[in-house]
Amino acid sequence: MVNDLLDKLVDKSITKEELLEKVKHNFDLLPKIIDGVSSQKAAIRYGCGKVLMDLSEEYPDKLYPYMDFFIKLLDSKYRILTWQAMFIIANLTKVDKDRKFDSIFDKYYSFINDEYMVTVANVVGHSGKIALAKPHLIPRITKKLLKVENIKTTQHLTDECKKVIAEKTIQSIDTFFPHIEKKDEVISFVKKHIDSSRKTLKRKSEEFLKKWNN
C-alpha cells in the first residue's frame, strides 16, 4: 500500500503536500518515506526528500533516529539529495543530543569548497540555524564562513556567484553575531563588500554595519 502511495508521486495523483499530511497523521509511514529517497524514480526520490525536509522543520525529533542516513546522503551522486540532506541535518542539530553533527562538522563544511554555487550557498545559508542550535561551534562556523572569499571560481561558480555567497554569509552571520567573540574579523569582512557592484550585497553590508558596527 505504501509503495502504491509513493507511485502516485510519479503520476501526480498525489502531491508532495498531500503525502506530507499523511505522514503527519501516521508516522508509521516514515520508514517508507526514508526508503523512497533511494528510489530509482526521480519523482519518488525527490518527492520523499522534500517531505522529509518539511518534517525536519516541524518534527526534528521524529527524524533524528535517521540522522546517520542523512549524513550518508551527503555523499549522494544526486546533488539535489545532497542539498536536501544538508537542509535536514541543519534542522536536526537542535535535537542532536549525541552530537553527531559535531563529528561530521569538517565534512559538512568541506562543501564550502564545492564547485557548484548552490551547494556552497546551502552550507552558508544553513549556518545560522546550526550556530544557534550549537553555540559551542560558533567560533568554528564563523571561521569557515569568513573563508568564502577565498573559494575558487569554476564553470558553475563565477565571480558573480561569489557575491551571492558573500551576501548569504552576511545574512547568516547576522543571526548569531552577538555570540561571536572575534567581531572585528566579521566587521572587516563585511566592509569589503560595502561598495559591491551587486546592489543587494551592498545593501546587506550597509544594513549589517549600521546594526552592529557601533
Asked if the model's pLDDT at residue 196 lies above 90, the reply is: yes
Q: List the grid coordinates of 134.
A: 550549537
Between CA 118 and CA 135 the distance in angstroms is: 25
Of 154, 77, 69, give the one whose Cα is nearest residue 120: 154
- Given pLDDT bands bounded at 50, 70 and 90, which one contains residue 132? very high
Helix locations, 59-182, DSSP H? 60-63, 67-73, 79-92, 100-103, 105-110, 117-133, 138-145, 159-176
Residue 2 pLDDT: 58
Residue 164 pLDDT: 97
Half-sphere exposure of 36 (CA within 13 A, CB side): 27
Residue 173 pLDDT: 98
Q: Provide mean pLDDT across the span 129-157.
A: 96
Q: Per-residue pLDDT tens for 14-64?
A: 999 999 999 999 999 999 999 999 999 999 999 999 999 999 999 999 999
Range scoring the smallest mean pLDDT among 2-16, 89-103, 190-204: 2-16
Residue 92 pairs in a beta bridge with none
Between CA 14 and CA 23 the distance in angstroms is: 13
The identity of residue 149, as a single letter, is E
How many CB atoms neighbour CB 47 within 10 A?
A: 25
- Given pLDDT bands bounded at 50, 70 and 90, which one contains residue 4? confident
DSSP state of 198: S
DSSP 38-56: T-SSHHHHHHHHHHHHHHH
Q: What is the mean pLDDT of the chain?
A: 96
DSSP state of 152: P
The pLDDT > 70 percentage for the chain reads 99
Residue 198 pLDDT: 97
Burial of residue 72 (CB within 10 Å: 0-12, 13-18, 19+) is exposed
Residue 5 pLDDT: 86
Of 114, 129, 172, 124, give the one whose Cα is nearest residue 144: 124
Between CA 57 and CA 159 the distance in angstroms is: 32
Domain ranges of the chain: 1-103, 108-214
